[in-house]
Amino acid sequence: MIVMIRWLNLTRNVGSLLPGMVLYGCSTVIFAQVTALETETVSANAVVNTAGNSAFYSSAPSLSTPPLAIEQAIGQSVQWHPAIGEAVAILSQREEQIAIARAGYYPRIQGGLRSGYDNTYDESKSSQALVLSVSQMLYDFGKVANDVKAARAGVALGQANLLYTIDQIIRDTAYAVIEIQRYQNLFNIAEDQIEGVTRILDLAEQRSRSGASTRSDAVQAQSRLEGARVTLLQHIARLQRWQAHLASLIGESGSRTATDDFPAQLLSSCDQSESDPLKVPEFLIAQARQAEAIARRDLARSENRPTISIDPSVTHYLDNNYQVGPNQDRTQWGVFLNVNMPFYQGGSNRARVRSADFALRSAEAALESAKLIVKQGLFEAFTQTASLERSLESLARRDISISETRDLYRQQYLDLGTRSLLDLLNAEQEIHQSRFDRQNTISDLRRLQIDCLYNTGELRDAFALTRAPVQGVEITP
């Protein structure tokens, strides 16, 4: 009902500027009539193209859709957003890399048909045979072990990236809901401002007609009214923008309003000035990259060392040319101990070692950078929160004093004539500007609470997503 009343108030207040206009989502719709408030519906009899070359929706705002709470919006976004699905798929891919790396511990069995030229034969030089070979690594100086370590570090990196993506979606969705709350309230305040200035305009016109004041008073009031209407339309445009952004985050096509609720337990999120790095995705990403770089460096070094393997094989000849001796069997087998070591490969092995060393340095620097970024972000949010909370207290006291001033100015203007209409208009504008400032401060504080949760890695806990399934994956600390 509140949303309904406000939208109808918008039609009433903006009616003198653009009669019957209702702005919603990304459309501009002109309505011939609006039904009564108790019906809770808005109907359109005609649609007028106000831009000349733009198409507009002919349907009214959907007021039957309930407003979203911040928890509900976040739940929808994390279960739908394709960026999280992409991160989940990448994580699954990285998990399979562990199985690929561990396969190096197991024997490799190969078989096939061999056909070609053999100069050991006396007459026909052709040879055809079935070949079956097995190769089992015995010792490789850590090649497979380091490959497995690198794959496991890759999984840790995938997990950290998934947490990072989830936190990003949670933060972006929370921002969108907070901004919708902001501009819904600013929209209401702007409506009240139009109503207040309209009352002053009516008073000025009444006094002008009776000869108690000059026409300039009414002109001044009309000018302030036009400015208030412009402010209203600016807030509508920003509200539409954030509604569209929220719709893209939760996978809906229509605009949604939001409840003004904000979880009480989140209001103290900036009370702690320290964070646990093991909960912060940026730190976990840098840590996983460091572990992966160490494993890649060790792998590059082990590539310069020999690999010892045992290689049995069986050959079954398909022709008779194999009989170079009277006792030679058609099926021949052998077991061989092989030691393989690269002596020269154009310098590629040394280059790989140097590259891995530089990658490790980069990962170590990234780890320190992540610590700094998290610490800086938390400190900035912590200090801004303290400042805005003090500012909010001052604005509350200012609201009371300005309201008293406006009432006093109105009495002096009407009864004593010691105040001008300009004084009354300024007092009215100050009241609503103070309310604008107070609402902006409240919304800024809510954003800072989200920032503090983000920089401490507590977003998932705050919105009950830890150990909860998200697109088929259970989120663990």
Q: What is the reported pLDDT for 71?
A: 94
- pTM of the full structure: 0.78
Residue whose pair of structure tokens reads 């396969």 in the numeric block: 103
Q: Give me the pLDDT at residue 164, please.
A: 94
| Predicted local distance difference test score (pLDDT) of residue 58 | 29
Q: Report strand pairing: 331-340 vs 469-470.
A: unpaired
CA distance 40 to 29: 18
In order of 1, 23, 39, 251, the CA distances from 6 in angstroms are 9, 12, 14, 26
- Mean pLDDT of residues grouped by 10 in the chain (477 residues)? 35 39 33 29 29 30 72 94 94 94 94 81 73 94 93 93 95 96 96 92 82 78 92 95 94 88 88 78 91 91 91 86 62 90 84 89 90 87 87 86 83 74 87 92 94 90 89 81
Nearest alpha-carbon partner for 93 in 166, 162, 168: 162
Q: DSSP label at 140?
A: -
* CATH homologous superfamily of 68-87+155-283+365-474: Outer membrane efflux proteins (OEP) (1.20.1600.10)
Exposed/middle/buried for residue 298 (C-beta within 10 Å: 0-12, 13-18, 19+): buried
For residue 422, give the nearest of 413, 431, 414 by alpha carbon: 413
Q: How far apart are CA 216 and CA 207, in angstroms?
A: 11
Q: How many Cα atoms are found within 13 Å in the side-chain-facing hemisphere of 90?
A: 16
What pLDDT score does 183 carry?
Answer: 96
Structure tokens at 138: 């015995």
Distance CA 416, CA 66 (A): 50
Other Cβ atoms within 10 Å of 407 Cβ, number? 11
* Non-local CB neighbours of 152 within 8 Å, separated by 6+ positions: 98, 291, 295
Name residue 128's beta-bridge partners: 115
pLDDT at position 37 is 28
Strand 126-139 relative to strand 27-30: parallel, antiparallel, unpaired?
unpaired
Beta strands in 373-470 (DSSP E): 469-470
Distance separating alpha carbons of residues 166 and 175, to the nearest angstrom: 14
What pLDDT is attached to residue 26?
34
CA 63, distance to chain mean position in Å, is 28
What is the C-alpha separation between 164 and 269, in angstroms, rounded? 19
CA angle 305, 310, 311 (to 5 degrees): 115
Distances (CA, A) of 379 to 270, 389, 448: 9, 16, 11
The torsion angles phi and psi of 469, rounded to 5 degrees, stand at -70, 130
- If we measure between CA atoms, which residue out of 233, 191, 222 comes closest to residue 425? 222
* C-alpha closest to that of 381 among 327, 435, 459, 289: 459
Phi first, then psi: what are they for 309, rounded to 5°?
-145, 160
SS3 for 169? helix
Token pair 């408030």 is found at: 37
Q: Where are the domains of the chain?
A: 1-64, 68-87+155-283+365-474, 95-151+285-350
HEC-encoded secondary structure of 26-42: CEEEECCCCCCHHHCCC
**Residue (of 113, 111, 108, 115) closest to 132 by Cα position:** 111
